[in-house]
Structure 1
């Protein structure tokens, strides 16, 4: 048997050559610059990532190099952790929020669990994560890296998940029914309808999550295993060592490095994303002034995004076909009510039994160690922290909602204010401890009151960012209609602004409340040099139990904090969520 190859005729060869030459002519110097930038980024990521797999011994204590020349490498390591945690948070958001929004049974478990997870302090997550990841990667620095990334993830994921969950639950039913009638697969509806509807809130909450990661950077990069302290290379551990040494000069270098990183990430990453998300605004007329980004404008001149989109189309079609083959595509809108009630009953009994078993086992553990009286002190201390949280959220609402609306309505002001609020939201409270201790001692201000100011650094920005996102999502045609009708002042707020931003504000309020409880861990105990100021509150109780390694008190404090947060969410914020879904969704 023989094979012969046929030579295409000259006309065919010339047409192929012309088509290839035409494709090459589409590429310009912009495409070359973008390709070179991507290659440089990949190279730097690989070089920085080499340090995550070096050998590690649990017998060596932490040593942090606080020379100024070490800061660029530390900054790169911190940035790598932050973006890895952000990617994990995004995947978690899509899976968790989608499951909770699409399954009524799972929603009963997942949403209360999310309330608990956002209330559990990062320090509590870190204590368990360090032991687990070090055991998973023995003898490698990768174990500590994974623990630090996990700690940053726990400070990023919750508010993104709340935001996307709310956008899914408030999506108009007409769009769902229309997509079903056209036979659109779940995969296509997710990318074409559901994700775009929540994109603006998701981007701004992602930005806020990134700021939350900076806030807990010191705690995540300086870890404790047994009685030994360990530190990973990073800006957080550098600042922590400088604060422990009382070296204000090196603290200043850490603050400057943090500010440069935040502004750079905002310019290169968040600013293009917020400008790109404008295309998903639900409106019939385009605004006369839109957000701009030099980086986004440059990328739009490149052909690489189009080529990447074409390359990913077969993946989307394959996933859509897989959904139909596996039978996970859309179910009918009408279901058997009796079967549904039976399934709900079985699910409730099983889930309730597992939760009850966990609570009984926790109670037995605490009873054997210290007795159930260990809950008494944290319950009383929780009232003091609860008062601080309520005052903080109320004041932040009065101050930052008008500011957020003003920024969200003005693309020009957004361009100026976005990097400023990013720096403020990303500023770790730990960096201000030297100034806070000096100020409290100089003025005689009690840490019981001053601690609330430090808590605000980690909580108030959720309200500001969600207010900006809510204002940006208000359709331009509605605002123009209000202008044409001459509706101004309080009537404009009552008829347009408050209803328009209310769903986003509820997301900001519930995450600000949880963030305030979490921030109390690092805000009710302030240390600089040899001076320590301690407030009366649940956060200080948990911080002391963590430092002393008193696991019964730590578990009791975390359990009480979770109880307060879940109760507050259940009886206050959850009712506002239902009001937003029923009355204030476009």
Structure 2
């Protein structure tokens, strides 16, 4: 009797080798990441007091890798906090009619409050939470970065939820999904593409405000945390342009690395949530994502986690509130509305009374008139910026988003441009302005645009890339002329995303004014006439009354602009341009 022994084919050996190689790369990468995070977290917990705190960091180039790691860790912690905030805040605002009336205007106000306005209130509190440790200042810095990331992501998810296709909403209600089930099975997948693209843009916004969040000047005290933002601030103050340029090179390497290892895999993975009947001709690809998919490490870790997550999911589904509970009687609903309105009115009224009383007792109401006039100057810069960004970046963003091959090639470039903190270039710009004699009143528009215009570009790219392939094929089959294609398909499809980008770009421009209207280089400070310079000066001197006046006036302008323009455009986009 002859025994036949089978041998694995060459393809089996190849597949096994690929799996082993991918497993090794993923395991080594994960181990290195864990080791790096542990080392960085441990280095942040060092003795620290207000009296002995350094006012600046060393500009020794050998410290740059360590500074870059500390900054990157702060950015990702803030991004995680922003994602949790986005999931909770946007969902409540989109699903609760009463909450929406408060949360969306509040979000307008929150995105208009400059980072220095938050820092002037929170730094002391965070330091008190961790007495004698640098962790308090670290938390204050991370919170400042969080305030530069969260609002844009929240607006993106909120708009995705309120403009959700009607078919998805009806399916969720017919299946009687609980709110928990609907959130994870319908809401998050349908909003994944705009959420990822806006997450990239928010990450870029965090880079932009890195200097302001690491080199702090609050209440006549200067604090500096080890980080690349504080390094650039110190090098700029010392007039060391060569070290500023070196930090810019390191920053570009950081941005490209984060894009290759994190954002590009995430955008390629998010394509699985695209809602269409036909598959795109050329989907985004990522080498990092391919390695992760070929590796068995993720599946091995995911199995035990699934055993923990699945019971929690079933428990939340059982006790979760059904999306369509029993109908509330009209009288009870009106009574609830009146009670809700009365509660909100009391809270707002009390807050307004305390603010008026504090301003009256400190700086007086004449300061409000002065701040309003300064706000007009900043408002003019914001309007110019939004018009310029709309004319330039809407066509470019739509072209990139409609062409997957172009999007794959342009994404790293756009990501570098959007994520690169433009205020790293401020010392160079200040040197040019001093040499040419150009006023910062004019140059400030350019500096604000460097930090805010990308919100429009990224949102338009996300909107164009999310156009169902069915509609693209229909337009191609009908052989629509280019003008008709733009008028009938592209512009209506990207309009909702443009509104989200416009509202966050305008808010980002107001926020950017605090770093764009005051620029220091080699001991010389250039100041523009505007509300941002007013708030920065008040924060540096610890003048609480003027800080409050500046924040209130800036919030007034932002909310007024949102109510008169952006929210009306939101209503038009929901009514006329929703894909349903």
Give the TM-score of the pair, scaled to structure 2. Answer: 0.94
Q: Deviations over 1:215-237 (max 9, x none)?
A: 01011111245433221111011
- Contact in 1 for aligned 2:374/2:531 (Cα 8 Å): yes
Q: What residue in structure 2 maps to residue 179 of structure 1?
A: 172
For the pair 1:38 / 2:30, whether they are aligned, the reply is yes
Q: What residue in structure 2 maps to residue 95 of structure 1?
A: 88
Of 557, 562, 578 in structure 2, the residue corresponding to residue 564 of structure 1 is 557
Distance 2:536 2:260 in 1: 36
Q: Map 1:318-357 to 2 at 5 A.
A: 318-324=311-317, 326=319, 328-332=321-325, 334-357=327-350
Of 357, 362, 374 in structure 2, the residue corresponding to residue 381 of structure 1 is 374
Query: After alignment, is 178-187 or 261-270 more displaced?
Result: 178-187
Residue 324 of structure 1, CA deviation: 4.9
For the pair 1:416 / 2:409, whether they are aligned, the reply is yes
Residue 369 of structure 1, CA deviation: 1.2
Of 57, 60, 70 in structure 1, the residue corresponding to residue 52 of structure 2 is 60
SS at match of 1:230: strand
Q: Map 1:148-163 to 2 at 5 A.
A: 148-163=141-156
Q: What residue in structure 1 maps to residue 479 of structure 2?
A: 486
Q: How many residues are treated as equivalent by the alignment?
A: 563
- Contact in 2 for aligned 1:521/1:543 (Cα 8 Å): yes
- Contact in 2 for aligned 1:186/1:320 (Cα 8 Å): no
Q: What residue in structure 2 maps to residue 128 of structure 1?
A: 121
Q: What residue in structure 1 maps to residue 457 of structure 2?
A: 464
SS at match of 1:229: strand
Report the aligned-residue RMSD.
1.7
Distance 1:334 1:403 in 2: 48
Query: After alignment, is 407-416 or 439-448 more displaced?
Result: 439-448
Query: After alignment, is 27-36 or 388-397 more displaced?
Result: 27-36
Quick one: structure 1 residues 480 and 26, their matched pair in 2 at CA, closer, same or farther if it must change by over 3 Å?
A: closer
Of 233, 236, 240 in structure 2, the residue corresponding to residue 243 of structure 1 is 236
Residue 325 of structure 1, CA deviation: 5.0
SS at match of 1:28: helix
Residue 267 of structure 1, CA deviation: 0.4
For the pair 1:79 / 2:58, whether they are aligned, the reply is no
For the pair 1:28 / 2:20, whether they are aligned, the reply is yes
Distance 2:175 2:29 in 1: 42
Distance 2:347 2:297 in 1: 50
Quick one: structure 1 residues 562 and 350, their matched pair in 2 at CA, closer, same or farther if it must change by over 3 Å?
A: same
Q: Map 1:285-304 to 2 at 5 A.
A: 285-304=278-297
Query: Structure 1: which 5+ residue stretches go unaligned?
Result: 1-23
Q: Deviations over 1:348-374 (max 9, x none)?
A: 110111011101110001101122222
- Contact in 1 for aligned 2:18/2:294 (Cα 8 Å): no
Distance 1:549 1:384 in 2: 24
SS at match of 2:277: coil
Query: Structure 2: which 5+ residue stretches go unaligned?
Result: 1-15
- Contact in 2 for aligned 1:187/1:316 (Cα 8 Å): no
- Contact in 1 for aligned 2:381/2:445 (Cα 8 Å): yes
Residue 307 of structure 1, CA deviation: 4.1
Distance 1:213 1:123 in 2: 14
Residue 579 of structure 1, CA deviation: 1.1
- Contact in 1 for aligned 2:219/2:543 (Cα 8 Å): no
Residue 532 of structure 1, CA deviation: 1.9
Give the TM-score of the pair, scaled to structure 1. Answer: 0.93
Residue 266 of structure 1, CA deviation: 0.3
